[in-house]
Structure 1
Amino acid sequence: MSTEMGRLVDGYLEYLELVKGRSTNTVRAYGSDLRAAFEGVETLEGFTLDHCRNVLDWAVENGDAKSTLARIASSLRGFGGWLVHTGTLTVNPTAGLQTPKVSRTLPRVLREDQVSDMLEQSRSRAGAGNDGATPGYGTRSDTDGEPSPKDIRDWAMLELLYATGIRVSELAGADITDLGGTGDPGARSLRVVGKGSKTRVVPFGPTVENALRRWLAVRPRMLPTRDARVAGGVGEGAQPALFLGMRGGRIDVRQVRTAVHRATGGAGVPEIAPHGLRHSAATAVLDGGADLRVVQQLLGHTSMNTTQIYTHVGTDRLQAVYRRAHPRSGSQD
């Protein structure tokens, strides 16, 4: 969270404690909610209704209880109201924010062209060409206008999330050796551990392979010690995580969510959470003609009922299949 947002949150918490007389536990809980909500938000311009809805989407995806969702919504609405009260804002952007119902509803989804726009912009920030190649490694720096390791990491994460439909927790928990079982992106598969500690292997294509190769080439530059960087981050005691956070440890799921939020918002497409990108991947596979059983295995669902609720078939494809398959569809007219 930026200094500006941190200062405002601290001011609101002080107001809750000293003026409103809220308990220490309540103030602590609201502070935790707001700091998590504004991770990656640099200025008040990022405090929008869409962003706050995404925050609640993330909480639903995380399996938070109804009481927790209600508290998060309350903290965001209260913070917006306080900003208006102090004259910092003229309108509370969260006035219409509602606590989401915990039900098995479809998350927001991006069309294939919108995902393409988002990934293309991310690829451009990573300095990669149309084939994913990024020339000049070894002479790059983060201060000469060249892409940073973070830019390349974010591109690789986005490509992997959309290509495989894995959960954000599965991506964050993946190790380098989970690539093909040996750490080689050329195997074009990733072993992930899903809910219930169930392991599955998901495939990916050449675009993801190229993105991962570029990321692994610069990954040592994000490790915390010079020795680890020189060693390339391999060997006994080395950090095994496939994706690293800014401090060189295993990336946190909130950092992944921030990367998805920034990428979609920056590309001018509807902002979604990683769960929405997972749903977008499932929808693309279904629209491409895959059987629902295949999608079930790809997503790691134990029950087909979950897959049927989680995915949907586009109207165009539904009509096309109906015209081909139903004898009374009028296709022969």
Structure 2
Amino acid sequence: MSGERRGTRVAHEALPPQLREAVDAFADHLAGVRNRSAHTVRAYVTDLVSLLDHAVRMGCADLSELDLAVLRSWLAKQRTMGAARTSLARRAAAARTFSAWAHRAGLLTADVAAPLASPRAHRDLPTVLRADQAAALMDAPRVRAAGQAAAPRADAPHVGSTAEGPTTGDGPTASASPAARGASGDSRGGAAEGTASGPESPGGEDPALLRDRVLLELLYGTGVRISEACGLDVADVDHARRVVRVLGKGGRERAVPYGVPAQRALDAWLGRGRPALAGPGSGAALLLGARGGRLNPTTARRIVAGYAEAAGLPRTTPHGLRHSAATHLLEGGADLRAVQELLGHSSLASTQIYTHVSVERLRAAYRQAHPRA
């Protein structure tokens, strides 16, 4: 099925043939008609296979026998197995989406999931960095570069080498220690490449550090998702207007501005860093991994976490930087609609959570400072 071609393969061989065909057709619809991402298709198809497997166990040999009672029984079972409220809400949404599609396709005589209620997902307030903490994180690659220049170790393996653990992709495994992993999360000195250190830029700088710097500046300076940052091509950067063209969820394209620090990081990376890492497999990718291919999100997450740890900051993820960017924009007086556009949210409700973060900070400051709090 086309879902398989998009990396959405989900085992469903145990289902009866008619139900397998329905799963395949639904995956094709999500990927080809609704233009959902491979991750979304995989999640929905996984939920659907679970639902249909439950239906078969309840005696439904045919899709036409699926009804509201089976759907509710399935969700109840998921809850007893410890599924979180957010997971239950997503699974209910997947069931409703499938039911509506199957009804339109003539596979169901009625949209049986239309009245299906789902638990209201509990939304924790996102963890955000303070402005000074974000500034320290942005400065972490420069601090690390200064430390390397002050104390070079020609006999030591390169940051992220396989000396203390195997590597996968462009970064070390999660089992590698922070010391072996390094702040950059890179693995250019891995044994597989047979070298103790990676290439240097024309200016003698470590290209991985230049890459790390521009990654951090873009994530915080634009608030883009990690998948969006890793998906950027060189041509997506408009240097004259200082904006990047981002392809977001659902194939929606938007232009996001960035500031002077990000521009400086981009200039250094494109002028001195990227040429040192680029190879035959680089293509048009803006951000490159250790072996010259497009930087993957898993490695990027390790890079962010490594620098946050090195700077003594709370555990930080790329999505945490997105939260921080949105919160700081609102605290600085940005309009909520403008922040919605910058983040690429289809609904204003998704953006409004950041107003709660600001209110909570205000309340905390009030409790700490006001004598009659």
- Tell whether the 8 Å contact from 2:138 to 2:217 is kept in structure 1 after alignment: yes
Q: 1:220 and 2:275 equivalent?
A: yes
- Tell whether the 8 Å contact from 2:220 to 2:322 is kept in structure 1 after alignment: yes
Q: 1:175 and 2:233 equivalent?
A: yes
Residue 315 of structure 1 and its aligned partner are, at CA, apart by 4.0
Match of 1:193 in 2: 247
Cα shift readout 1:44-66 (whole Å, capped 9, x = no counterpart): xxxxxxxxxxxxxxxxxx77969
Cα shift readout 1:139-195 (whole Å, capped 9, x = no counterpart): x9649x954101110001101110110000100111000011xxxx34310000000
Please give the alpha-carbon distance, in whole angstroms, between the structure 2 residues aligned to 1:301 and 1:208: 23
| Letter in structure 2 aligned against 1:220 | P
| Letter in structure 1 aligned against 2:222 | T
Please give the alpha-carbon distance, in whole angstroms, between the structure 2 residues aligned to 1:268 and 1:318: 25
Structure 1 unaligned spans of 5+:
1-24, 26-61, 69-97, 128-139, 229-237, 323-333
| Letter in structure 2 aligned against 1:219 | R
| Letter in structure 1 aligned against 2:210 | I
What is the DSSP-based 3-state SS (H/G/I as helix, E as strand, rest coil) of the residue aligned with 1:314?
helix
TM-score (normalised: structure 1): 0.55
| Letter in structure 1 aligned against 2:285 | A
Residue 125 of structure 1 and its aligned partner are, at CA, apart by 3.1
| Letter in structure 1 aligned against 2:347 | S
Please give the alpha-carbon distance, in whole angstroms, between the structure 2 residues aligned to 1:308 and 1:197: 23
- Structure label with greater radius of gyration: 2
Cα shift readout 1:201-258 (whole Å, capped 9, x = no counterpart): 0001111100000000120111235xx9xxxxxxxxx610110111111110111111
Cα shift readout 1:91-148 (whole Å, capped 9, x = no counterpart): xxxxxxx997634333321111111111112233356xxxxxxxxxxxx9649x9541
Please give the alpha-carbon distance, in whole angstroms, between the structure 2 residues aligned to 1:309 and 1:316: 11
| Letter in structure 2 aligned against 1:123 | R
| Letter in structure 1 aligned against 2:138 | L
Please give the alpha-carbon distance, in whole angstroms, between the structure 1 residues aligned to 2:43 and 2:129: 27
Please give the alpha-carbon distance, in whole angstroms, between the structure 1 residues aligned to 2:125 and 2:342: 18
Instruction: Report the aligned-residue RMSD.
Output: 3.4
Match of 2:342 in 1: 298
Structure 2 unaligned spans of 5+:
1-10, 12-38, 47-81, 87-120, 147-197, 367-373
What is the DSSP-based 3-state SS (H/G/I as helix, E as strand, rest coil) of the residue aligned with 1:107?
coil
Please give the alpha-carbon distance, in whole angstroms, between the structure 2 residues aligned to 1:110 and 1:101: 26
- Superposition map of 1:264-303 within 5 A: 264-303=308-347
Q: 1:253 and 2:297 equivalent?
A: yes
| Letter in structure 2 aligned against 1:222 | L
- Superposition map of 1:223-234 within 5 A: 223-225=278-280
* Higher normalized contact order (CA 8 Å, seq sep 6+, divided by chain length): 1
| Letter in structure 2 aligned against 1:199 | E
Please give the alpha-carbon distance, in whole angstroms, between the structure 2 residues aligned to 1:196 and 1:65: 15
Residue 276 of structure 1 and its aligned partner are, at CA, apart by 0.6
- Tell whether the 8 Å contact from 2:330 to 2:354 is kept in structure 1 after alignment: no
- Tell whether the 8 Å contact from 2:200 to 2:276 is kept in structure 1 after alignment: no
Please give the alpha-carbon distance, in whole angstroms, between the structure 2 residues aligned to 1:151 and 1:256: 12
- Superposition map of 1:123-162 within 5 A: 123-126=142-145, 142=200, 147-162=205-220
Please give the alpha-carbon distance, in whole angstroms, between the structure 2 residues aligned to 1:275 and 1:99: 23
User: For 1:113, which of 114, 120, 132 is the aligned residue?
Assistant: 132
| Letter in structure 2 aligned against 1:314 | S
- Tell whether the 8 Å contact from 2:125 to 2:357 is kept in structure 1 after alignment: no
What is the DSSP-based 3-state SS (H/G/I as helix, E as strand, rest coil) of the residue aligned with 1:190?
strand
TM-score (normalised: structure 2): 0.49
Is the alpha carbon distance of 1:309 and 1:121 closer, same or farther for their aligned partners in structure 2, counting shifts above 3 Å?
A: same
Match of 1:17 in 2: none
Q: How many residues align?
A: 205
Please give the alpha-carbon distance, in whole angstroms, between the structure 2 residues aligned to 1:316 and 1:303: 22
- Tell whether the 8 Å contact from 1:286 to 1:295 is kept in structure 2 after alignment: yes
Match of 2:287 in 1: 243
Q: 1:165 and 2:232 equivalent?
A: no
Please give the alpha-carbon distance, in whole angstroms, between the structure 2 residues aligned to 1:263 and 1:99: 33
Please give the alpha-carbon distance, in whole angstroms, between the structure 2 residues aligned to 1:294 and 1:197: 20
Please give the alpha-carbon distance, in whole angstroms, between the structure 1 residues aligned to 2:225 and 2:354: 13
- Tell whether the 8 Å contact from 2:304 to 2:318 is kept in structure 1 after alignment: yes
| Letter in structure 1 aligned against 2:142 | R
Is the alpha carbon distance of 1:251 and 1:288 closer, same or farther for their aligned partners in structure 2, counting shifts above 3 Å?
A: same
What is the DSSP-based 3-state SS (H/G/I as helix, E as strand, rest coil) of the residue aligned with 1:191?
strand
| Letter in structure 1 aligned against 2:310 | G
